[in-house]
């Protein structure tokens, strides 16, 4: 076992996300399930220095966060106006348009604020009507965006 980086403390939920260019990001979240004082801090792993470097921008990147998976996509590829944002949800059921409108959020990293995704029609079109890449709920799946959540505390380690 080798140490990847020292821990990042602060938020109550953390997500590990691998980007298209194989960088590893750590997203540190606070308040996403209550909408109170919502905050996201995004860090990129510097493997050589063994530390997390805080990012101030995601550029063209859109980060998608959920309970069992997390991923990134280019705003250009998604055909949405801008990147530099995180899209997340507060509820598992994304088969109902009312739930999507009530529970999906977009966090603008440059503005430091969260908004209802339904206030952004270009982004909302990614989810309704549900595209084929969003799995239907069944006994084995909890729906879209099931994420890799890490524990809030502890060093980030991997097996060699």
pLDDT band at 56 (very low <50, low <70, confident <90, very high): very high
Give the whole-angstrom CA distance, residue 100 versus residue 93.
8
Where is pLDDT greater, at 3 or 122? 122
Of the candidates 5, 11, 10, the residue with the CA atom closest to the CA atom of residue 24: 5
User: Lowest-pLDDT range, 70-84, 112-126, 135-149?
Assistant: 135-149
Do residues 145 and 70 lie in contact, with contact meaning Cβ atoms separated by under 8 Å? yes
pLDDT score for 55: 93
Range of the domain at 17: 13-152
Q: Please report whether residue 8 resides in a domain.
A: no
Q: Please report whether residue 103 resides in a domain.
A: yes
Q: Please report whether residue 158 resides in a domain.
A: no
**For the chain, what is the domain count?**
1
Q: Please report whether residue 160 resides in a domain.
A: no
The mean predicted confidence, pLDDT, of the chain is 75
Strands 61-64 and 71-74: antiparallel
Q: Please report whether residue 122 resides in a domain.
A: yes
Query: Is pTM, for the whole model, over 0.85?
Result: no
Q: Please report whether residue 3 resides in a domain.
A: no
Q: Please report whether residue 7 resides in a domain.
A: no
Q: Please report whether residue 157 resides in a domain.
A: no
Percent above pLDDT 70 for the chain = 68
Q: Is a pLDDT exceeding 90 seen at residue 36?
A: no
pLDDT score for 99: 64
């Amino acid at each position: 076992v080798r140490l990847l980086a020292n821990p990042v403390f602060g938020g109550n939920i953390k997500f590990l996300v691998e980007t298209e260019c194989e960088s590893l990001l750590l997203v540190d979240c606070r308040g996403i399930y209550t909408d109170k004082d919502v905050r996201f801090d995004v860090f990129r792993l510097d493997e050589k220095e063994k530390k997390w470097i805080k990012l101030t921008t995601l550029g063209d990147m859109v980060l998608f966060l959920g309970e069992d998976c997390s991923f990134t996509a280019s705003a250009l590829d998604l055909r949405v106006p801008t990147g530099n944002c995180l899209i997340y949800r507060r509820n598992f059921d994304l088969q109902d348009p009312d739930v999507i409108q009530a529970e999906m959020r977009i966090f603008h990293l440059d503005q430091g604020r969260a908004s209802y995704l339904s206030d952004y029609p270009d982004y909302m079109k990614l989810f309704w009507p549900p595209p084929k890449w969003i799995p239907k709920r069944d006994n084995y799946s909890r729906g879209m965006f099931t994420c890799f959540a890490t524990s809030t505390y502890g060093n980030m380690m991997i097996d060699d």
